[in-house]
Copies of this chain bind each other. A is one copy, B any other.
Amino acid sequence: MATTGPGKPVSASTARGGHEGHGGSGAGAPARRSTIRDVARQAGVSVATVSRVLADNYPVTHTTRAKVLRAVRQLDYVANAHAKALAGTGVETIALVLDDITWSAFAQIGAGVEQEAARRGRLCLVCTTQGDRQRELAVVNLMREQHAAAVILVGGIQYTTEYRERMSRFARSLDSVGSRLVLCGRPPLADDLPATVVEYDNEGGAYGATAHLLSLGHRRILFVGAQEGQSTADGRLSGYRGALADYRVAAAPELEREGLFLRDAGLRAVREALREQVAFTAVFAATDMVALGALEGLREAGLRVPDDVSLIGYDDIPMANELTPRLTTVHVPYQELGRTAARLVLDRRDGVGGAEDRTRLSTHVVVRGSTAPPAPGPR
Chain B nearest CB, measured from A259 CB (Å):
18
CB nearest neighbor in B for A177: B33
The segment from A38-46, A118-126, A230-238 found at the interface with B is A118-126
A79 contacts chain B at the CB level, 8 A cutoff: yes
Q: Are A177 and B23 in contact (CB under 8 A)?
A: yes
- Chain B residues with CB under 8 Å of A90's CB are 82
Bound-state Cα–Cα, A78 to B351, Å:
26
Q: Which residues of B contact A115 (CB under 8 A)?
A: 128
Q: Is the CB of A177 within 8 A of B147?
A: no
Docked pose: A108 CA to B106 CA in angstroms: 12
Distance between Cα atoms of A22 and B79 in the complex (Å): 33
Q: Which residues in B have their C-beta under 8 angstroms from that of A375?
A: none
How extensive is the interface on chain A, given as a class?
35 or more
Select from chain B the residue with minimum beta-carbon distance to A76. Answer: B173
Residues of B within 8 A of A118 (CB): 127-128
| A87 and B51 alpha carbons, distance in the complex (Å) | 21
Q: How many copies does the complex hold?
A: 2
Chain A window 105-137, contacts with chain B (Cβ cutoff 8 Å), 1 for yes, 0 for no:
001101100110010000111111000000000
Closest B residue by C-beta to A146: B81
Q: Is A146 touching B175 in the complex (CB atoms < 8 A)? A: no
Contacts of A83 in B (CB 8 A): 82, 86
> Which A residues between 1 and 57 are near B, CB-CB below 8 angstroms?
3-4, 21-25, 27-31, 33
Q: When the two chains form the complex, which single residue of B78, B111, B145 contacts A100, counting CB atoms closer than 8 Å?
A: B111
Chain A contacts with B in 157-179, Cβ cutoff 8 A: 172-173, 175-179
- CB of A339 within 8 Å of the partner chain: no
Interface centre among A3, A21, A24, A142, by most chain B C-beta atoms within 10 angstroms, is A24
Per-residue contact bits, chain A 277-317, to B (CB 8 Å; 1 contact, 0 not): 00000000000000010000000000000000000000000
Q: For A81, what are the chain B residues with a Cβ–Cβ distance below 8 Å?
A: 145-147
Q: Nearest chain B CB to A53's CB is how many angstroms away?
A: 16
B128 touches A126 (CB 8 A): no
A349: chain B residues at CB < 8 Å are 27-28
What are 15 sample pairs from A and B whose C-beta atoms fall under 8 A apart? A23-B177, A24-B177, A24-B180, A28-B350, A31-B175, A33-B178, A80-B86, A84-B145, A101-B107, A101-B110, A102-B335, A114-B126, A118-B127, A124-B126, A124-B127
| Given A80-B147, A324-B324, 4 new contacts (CB under 8 A) | A3-B172, A93-B125, A123-B127, A323-B324
